[in-house]
Amino acid sequence: MSVVIETSIPTPIRPWRNSKATGLRNLVSLTLALVCGGLVVQVTGLSGYLGLFLVVGILMPVFVGLLNLKRGANVVIDRLASAVIAVAFVAVTIPWFSIFFTVFQKGSEAFHSSYLTDDMRITPSGDDLQYGGIAHAIVGTMLMVLVATVISVPFGIIAAVYIVEVKGRFAGLIRFLVQAMSGVPSIVAGLFVYSTVVIFFGGFSAWAGAVALSILMLPTVARTSEEVLKLVSVDLRTSSAALGATQARTVFTVVIPTVASGLITAAVLGVARVVGETAPLILTSSYFVATSTNLNEPIASLPIYIFSSLGLGDQNATARAWGGALVLLGLVFFFFLLTRLFSSRIKRK
């Protein structure tokens, strides 16, 4: 006679997760801090949500510590540290949410059915918000950023490969120049391109703006790519060399594919670095009110659109500037979202 013993699959223990009792204590601490904070704000000169957050941020760790006194010193210290970290995290995120909310609130006033498809060819910036659009600035920004990316990303990755993989005679000098370029103010890059490209090669143009952006983008791409390449294990390189592969073949078939997602991130960081630059574009690409794809002529861009609209001081023009800022934030978010998508696909492969 055989005996069948039923066994259940053991559930993994997750000690890092707080228990329901701990969550209840944290909720009670937050409630007490909110109530006391509201009373303090009413009595003292503090006002508004920031004043309430300041008081709650101070009182919540205190209440967390008091409610955990009976559980021992180690638990009290752990809960206090968790409460302080939570308050610090909220304090850091408040400015970001404030910026996004303000830009969305004021920028949405400029939106209408054809805001993203019309330009300002026949519409003054101070005209009614139901007329005109931002298509010319979007096209100009995308075009210049695309050209700057084509210029700077290959050179940035090549510079990183030379520093990390080749380690040639001039690796130290190139690293020094890249670090020096990363601290160059954007207006200096614009003045350099103005004195070398704009004056001697036909005046303001999209080409000049793209060159100025590529100068600012190159050090970001090179430094980020360098740090990414350093993450590749030495074992991969030695294994490839043991199989008879040359250094060039190892770099292009082993090293670069291994960190392809990181290199894409480096490119997007470079794009995010320059997509909002205004000063170099004032001196290189200038501004044009109509949609254009001609690289040899002045062209519009989102930063210059925002700058020129805000400079008029008119209520409608200011609303258009906020609308341009909202579109610019959305464009940067789209770039990061696209990067995450491609990076995840490359990692799965």
pLDDT band at 4 (very low <50, low <70, confident <90, very high): low
Instruction: Map out the domains of the chain with their CATH numbers.
Output: 20-109 (no CATH), 135-348 (1.10.3720.10)
Answer whether 105's CB lies under 8 Å from 269's CB. Answer: no
pLDDT of residue 211: 93
Per-residue model confidence as pLDDT tens digits over 254-296: 888 888 888 888 888 888 888 888 889 999 998 888 888 888 8
Task: Determine how many CB atoms are found less than 10 A away from the CB of residue 324.
Answer: 26
Q: Which helix (DSSP H) or strand (DSSP E) does residue 85 occupy?
A: helix 73-107
Strands, E assignment, the chain: none
Contacts of 2 (CB under 8 A, 6+ apart): none
Distance from C-alpha of 338 to C-alpha of 17, rounded to nearest angstrom: 33
Answer whether 326's CB lies under 8 Å from 138's CB. Answer: no
pLDDT of residue 6: 55
pLDDT of residue 168: 80
- State residue 202 phi and psi, 5-degree precision: 95, 15
Query: Bigger pLDDT: 326 or 20?
Result: 326
- State residue 127 phi and psi, 5-degree precision: -75, 175
Is the pTM here over 0.75, yes or no?
A: yes
Per-residue model confidence as pLDDT tens digits over 104-122: 999 988 888 888 888 888 8
